Amino acid sequence: MLIYIAQRLLVAIPTLLIIVMASFFLMHGAPGGPFDGDAQLEPEVLENIRAAYDLDKPVPLQFWLYLKGLLRGDFGPSIVYKDFNVTELIAVGLPVSLKLGLSAMLLAVVLGGLGGIIAALRQNGWVDYTIMAVAMTGIALPSFVIAPLLALVFGLYLSLLPVAGWNDGAVANMVLPVIALALPQVAIIARLMRGGMLEVLGSNFVRTARAKGLSEAQVVSRHVLKTAATPLISYLGPALAGVMTGSVVIEQIFNLPGMGRYFVQGALNRDYPVVMGIVVVYATTIILLNLLTDLAYGVLDPRVRRGYR
Amino acid sequence: MIPVLSVKDLTVQFALGPRQVIAVNGLSFDLGPGECLGVVGESGSGKSQSFLAMLGLLARNGSAAGSVRFKGKEILNAPKAQLQRLRGERISMMFQDALSGLTPNLRIGRQLEEVLMVHRGLSRARARQRALNMLEIVKIPEPEQRYNAYPFELSGGMRQRVMIALALLCKPDVLICDEPTTALDVTVQAQVLKLLDDTRRHTDTAIILITHDLGVVAGLCDRVLIMYAGRAVETGSVEDIFYQAAHPYTRGLLRSVPRLDADPEQPLPAISGHPPILENLPAGCAFAGRCDRYIQRCAAGVPELRQVAASHGVACLRAEAAP
Amino acid sequence: MSRPEAQLLGSESVAAAGGGHVSASMWRQAGRRFAANRVAMASLFTLGLIALACLFAPLLSPHTLEDTYWEYILVPPSLENSHWFGTDANGRDLFVRVFHGGRISLAIGVLTTLVALTIGLAYGATAGFVGGKTDGVMMRAVDVLYSLPLLFFIIILVTVFGRNIWLIFLSIGALEWLTMSRIVRGQTLSVRRKEYVESAYAIGLPAGAILRRYIVPNVIGPVIVYVTLLIPTNIVVESYLSFLGLGVQEPLTSWGLLISQGAEELQVAPWLLLFPATLLSLTMFCFNFIGDGLRDALDAAQR
């Protein structure tokens, strides 16, 4: 098991490095810079500003300096928000985005998982069709369509929930954003779970379990669930990626002070440090989650643990 | 003597799209306590589905009709709860390919224990003792170690023994073995068959051995039932079948077993033609197209099973007399 | 004495004699099965209507994409004036804009899918065909890339190289090829291992013929299904970018851009959101149903 974990770490660290490198060199290798749009500056002033941000040094050196800064937790200064460090911006936005994202993931897994299990057990019945129809909607409608519609219905017409603002994470303010963010993932997870269940329900070992005289509930809970959940576990990484990209839009629509807002602004303004910093944070989160899911695999499937080929 | 199992006119159908395909058609037989019945047929002959139907283990689109009496009580299409009590306890079924037949992420011990815990209400500790005992009986070496192993960690032969152990834990009245040796190599086959034989001698368990391998049947069974396209075409004692086979299909099967003393220059005798397509069976005898004793009348209607001797029945218009 | 053998010969044996697992009749069967699927056919029809509308509907209106009518700002849809879908905050006619936007969205969806298809096909087929360690390494790379928020990279690319529409095509396609390569590789591997391919090798068929006759027809099925599911995904990716202001720029418009503009004016002019959102959703549903129908039809035909 330890070897397994070590292997995973060995892959994770270079991956992170590559992502940081790729983002960095992309941003720096591009034509144009962050100061192009500004009013015409005198060449000396421009030089000074560039020196202050280390932009006059060769790119590989800049990268090295950046890495060193990262290890200290310093993401560098923002080019656009001149009074702020990127680290400070992230510190403001991260808790919000984290709360939003994790709540959405939890909702997606629980709702999607349950939905998929029930749909599989009542295969081809009306329950199954209903759940799958709802799932289809979640998959087909992007979150930036669902979110305004939800806001319209529940916020404006029914006046049940607030449509904007974070209010320090008050529950009422979180309901609509979390649901809008989770819905597409609920749909995909429900489908995956249902598929996994159906596949396992037809296997030989389930037939053996039934032939032993176990009740259907016992068969499902002891013999089916763990195996059927495997595709779900594999999907958690991409699910988180989906939640992250969705959160950028959701934060915009509901006016939430998360990292997504700074990310988009940074992209529009070519504020390299901000964009880079946020990408690093997002990527680290995902890689961490992937590590956790890999570990979960190890726990769930003994063949993985014992290095079965 | 009341038969332990009495089957009359068992018919099993599957709904494929708009049509019903008949997999088992009017099967009837009796099984006495401690008796060993071999059920022989090719894939698609309906041999497995008959027994899955009895235990209520058919696929979703399957349905069964007829009568199956276990110790006098009707069990076909009985309520789920009743069938669950029978399965694994009074009537056990074990399948070929123990690798896919055992839950891959549960330890062997757990899979054995739960049978005893569910059916006999034993505590985990007591169940474990009995299970270990059973592992010894089926001759698994170092049972304590194997107890905590996962199925993929055992060899094919050992897994099959675990399947047998699972089936015998509650000392059932009937043990149905669906192709228990097909996935195994010859030496392991012999060991498994010996195990079944020992079981037969020491307990009162009746055994149904489903197989397509006549050799397996010869060594173990008292009586044999030959199936083709969902019907029984010949039934009899082992001697009847092997020495006085009357149905052309049975004779074809016997002939096609390769023999050590056969002339190596001669081609292997085989049954000509193709296996029957169940969706599209002819009106008369299903074997007619491959039969070397076919006459016009054979296509007219399905032959009934007639007794040609005390224990021997054949469904053929032109059953051979004793050679 | 005649033998009623004809009755006993089934389609299976005929196919086996033919030497292939895929035959012309398989495609026909799949086609028939698809045609029988009412939902899928209705979706195909609807999609066709939408595509035609995007191409020709603007011609029906007297307005153009950029005409602004200062007297008609944020006017709700009506049949009396010529603004059938209403107008936006700049006084531009929504009807024309929605269908113009549709052209762009659909075009981007299809073109980016083509890019992803090309890359994924090449990558996956190579991995599957070559096999062994190369395959292992290639697919490991895919695994790693798969769980990253690639949209962020697209955003970076778009930021860096500017909001050029061709660049958007390429970058979206360049990052969406992953699943395609997995599918292609999986199919290639499984087909390569099948016995009829081995026998084809054994009787000396040249690799080109093997590729053509056995591998390609078997790989195409799932690929087509995935393509129909990838197009709506890519339309959504473009919409997402445009929504954030990082995608299609004025004077061009797309459904994503229209939706973002509509979301801003939601409280006063809900029609601005509803029309493009409805069209986008309808298109998505249609593609999904068609994809499901294709998958169904091919599954059934292969059995």
Phi, then psi, of A268 in degrees rounded to 5: -65, -35
Q: Could you say which residues of chain C have pLDDT below 70?
A: 1-25, 146-148, 158-163, 211-212, 300-303
Sheet holding B5-16, edge to edge: B19-31, B5-16, B62-70, B73-74
Residue at A107: amino acid letter: L
B292 CA to chain C: closest CA distance, Å? 10
Q: What is the pLDDT of residues B202-213, one digit of tens each?
A: 888 999 999 988
Handedness of CA C33, C37, C43, C48 (dihedral sign): positive
Residues A4-45: tens digit of each pLDDT: 778 777 877 877 787 777 777 776 766 555 565 555 667 777
> What is the residue whose two structure tokens read 């990558």?
C123
pLDDT higher at A33 or B6 = B6
pLDDT at A109 over 90: yes
Lowest-pLDDT range of B196-205, B287-296, B309-318, C73-82: C73-82
Instruction: Report the gap between the CA of B289 and the closest CA in chain C (Å).
Output: 5
Tell me the residues of chain C between 13 and 42 that have a Cβ less than 8 Å away from chain B.
Answer: 13
Q: What pLDDT is recorded for position C15?
A: 29
Kindly indicate the confidence band of residue B11, based on its pLDDT and cuts at 50, 70 and 90: very high
Number of Cβ atoms within 10 Å of the Cβ of B125: 8
Q: What is the pLDDT of residue B93?
A: 93
Residue C248 phi, psi dihedral angles, 5° rounding: -60, 135
Question: At CA A145, angle to CA A144 and CA A147, rounded to 5?
Answer: 65
What is the rounded CA–CA span in Å between residue A240 and residue A106? 10
C301 CB-near residues (< 8 Å, 6+ apart): C26, C27, C29, C30, C33
Residues in chain C closer than 8 A to A147 (CB atoms): 263
User: What is the pLDDT averaged over residues B135-147?
Assistant: 89
Cβ contact B276–C13 (<8 Å): no
pLDDT for res C179: 79
pLDDT score, position C34: 83
Arithmetic mean of pLDDT, A73-88? 74
Q: Do B93 and A211 touch (CB under 8 A)?
A: yes
**pLDDT score for C162:** 66
Residues of B in contact with C10 (CB under 8 A): 274, 277, 280
pLDDT digits (tens, 9 = 90+) for A125-142: 888 888 888 888 887 778
Please tell me the predicted confidence (pLDDT) of residue B53: 94
Distance, in Å, from the CA atom of B38 to the CA atom of B47, rounded to the nearest integer, reads: 10
Which residues in chain B (261-280) have CB-CB distances under 8 A to chain C? Answer: 273-274, 276-277, 280
pLDDT at C1: 30
| B200 phi, psi to nearest 5 deg | -60, -45
Max avg pLDDT among A100-104, B14-18, C9-13, C138-142: A100-104
Contact A208 B118 (CB under 8 A): no
**Cis peptide bond upstream of C251, omega within 30:** yes
pLDDT tens for residues C107-161?
A: 888 988 988 888 888 888 888 777 778 888 888 788 777 666 777 777 777 666 6
Query: Is C160's CB within 8 Å of A268's CB?
Result: no
Residue A137 exposure: Cα atoms within 13 Å on the Cβ side: 10
Answer whether residue B36 shows pLDDT above 90: yes
Residue of B296, B288, B249 lying closest to B271 (CA atoms): B249
Residue of B105, B110, B115, B174 to mutate, interface with A, max A Cβ within 10 Å: B105
Yes or no: say if B172 and B92 are a contact pair by the CB < 8 Å rule. Answer: yes
Mean pLDDT on B65-70: 94
Measure the CA–CA gap between B12 and C71, rounded to whole angstroms: 77
Q: Are B19 and B28 in contact (CB under 8 A)?
A: no
State the ipTM, two decimals: 0.86
Q: What is the pLDDT of residues B91-126, one digit of tens each?
A: 999 998 878 889 988 899 999 999 999 999 999 999
The count of other CB atoms within 10 Å of the CB of residue A252 is 20
Q: Specify the pLDDT at position A304.
A: 64
Which pLDDT tens digit goes with each residue over A156-179? 777 777 667 776 767 777 888 899
Burial of A157 (0-12, 13-18, 19+ CB in 10 A): exposed
Is the pLDDT at B44 greater than 50, yes or no?
A: yes
More confident call, A66 vs B64: B64
- The alpha-carbon gap from C7 to the nearest alpha carbon of chain B, in Å, equals 7
Contacts of C33 in chain B (CB under 8 A): none
Q: Are A50 and A56 in contact (CB under 8 A)?
A: yes
